[in-house]
Amino acid sequence: MVNDQIGGIHVLPPLVINWHITEACNYSCKFCYAKWQAERETRELIHNPARSRQLLEALYALFGPQAPDNPLSGRMAYRGVRLTLAGGEPFLYRRLCLDLINVARGIGFEISVITNASRLGIAEMRELAPNLSILGISVDSGNDHTNGAIGRKDGKGVALSLGDLRERIAAARSINPKINLKINTVVNAHNWQEDFSDAIGQLCPDRWKVLRVLPARTDALVITQAEFDAFVARHRAFRNIMSVEDNADMTQSYLMIDPHGRFFQNRVGRPGYDYSAPILEVGAAEAFKQIIFSPSGFVSRYPSVELPEVA
Ligand code: SF4
């Protein structure tokens, strides 16, 4: 069993729960998978702070380190629980999102966010950065034309430049020197031939997550295995920080919640998601039973998580 080691002490990483708080985004990426089917016309939970808090409390009561009925007990070991807020673009709802982070910290979660960073100015960063373990930023090209082709621009045709992004990251790091920076890149039909060396060199992430575009909803911008492999091989100089996720690696290996407070999973072999009932209606334990989550799949992405020996 491999764990992170600091000064000879084994350190388990946290369990990660990804809550996609909204499907709204100011960009329009053609491959965007942030679309969920609502069973009925319900507002996204983020707009109701009291119910958002209830959801987080229910999750922590089920998966927190002291949880008596943790369904993952005996299946994997971890230190604490990290809540990753994602979207859509979570900071479209700047105040709600920042308040939610304070609530989640109070409950006991570590926090990370996945954002396109376009709405994170210095004022937001001052409030956000001290609360974050990981700042995750999606960067799919260093080239303005390619960002346009992907759809990574707002309604006015504006995308964050690499220079702007560098400044925001520098601000986050100066406010919270312990913050970890993760860059997420979705490799797709428009960027698989791009050389990211300069962009990654400028941003200096602690981790660079390279994901093959996932046909979760649409086949837009899909690439072949050979094209994905070529992208990865071109960037082998970054292998120490790069973690590569092909489509199979993304199936059942994430613990994910949609904007309506349901667990969901990527379907196997066909586009779309499978959903649980809403967690606030049936309880977190019952909802969790309704989806498939693979501890071994999770571990393969976080190789320092411990799995018990199976007899
Ligand atoms: S930035 Fe992310 S959430 Fe927004 S459109 Fe692109 S892929 Fe979707």
Is the per-residue pLDDT at 171 higher than 90? yes
Task: Report which DSSP code applies to 228.
Answer: H
Rounded CA separation 17/15 (Å):
7
Tell whether 310 is covered by a domain. Answer: no
Tally of domains in the chain:
1
Instruction: Confirm or reject: Cβ of 25 under 6 Å from ligand 1.
Output: yes
Summarised one tens digit per residue, pLDDT across range 122-150 is 999 999 999 999 999 999 999 999 999 99
* Three-state DSSP class for residue 112: strand
pLDDT of residue 10: 45
Distance 221 CA to ligand 1 centre (A): 14
Summarised one tens digit per residue, pLDDT across range 214-273 is 876 667 799 999 999 999 999 999 999 999 987 766 677 789 999 999 999 988 777 788
Domain assignment of residue 29, given as a range: 11-301
Tell whether 311 is covered by a domain. Answer: no
Tell whether 130 is covered by a domain. Answer: yes
Mutating to test ligand 1, I would choose from 97, 116, 209 the residue with most ligand atoms within 8 A of its C-beta, which is 116
Instruction: Confirm or reject: Cβ of 188 under 6 Å from ligand 1.
Output: no
Tell whether 20 is covered by a domain. Answer: yes
The residues, any chain, with a CB within 8 Å of residue 45's CB and separated by 6 or more, are 21, 51, 52, 55, 259, 260, 261, 280
Tell whether 308 is covered by a domain. Answer: no
Mutating to test ligand 1, I would choose from 32, 36, 165, 256 the residue with most ligand atoms within 8 A of its C-beta, which is 32
Is the per-residue pLDDT at 305 higher than 80? no
Mean pLDDT of 101-105: 98
Distances (CA, A) of 114 to 74, 196, 208, 213: 30, 19, 13, 17
Tell whether 6 is covered by a domain. Answer: no
Instruction: Confirm or reject: Cβ of 261 under 6 Å from ligand 1.
Output: no
Atom of ligand 1 nearest to the CA of 88: 3
Asked if residue 220 lies in contact with residue 31, where contact means CB atoms within 8 angstroms, the answer is: yes
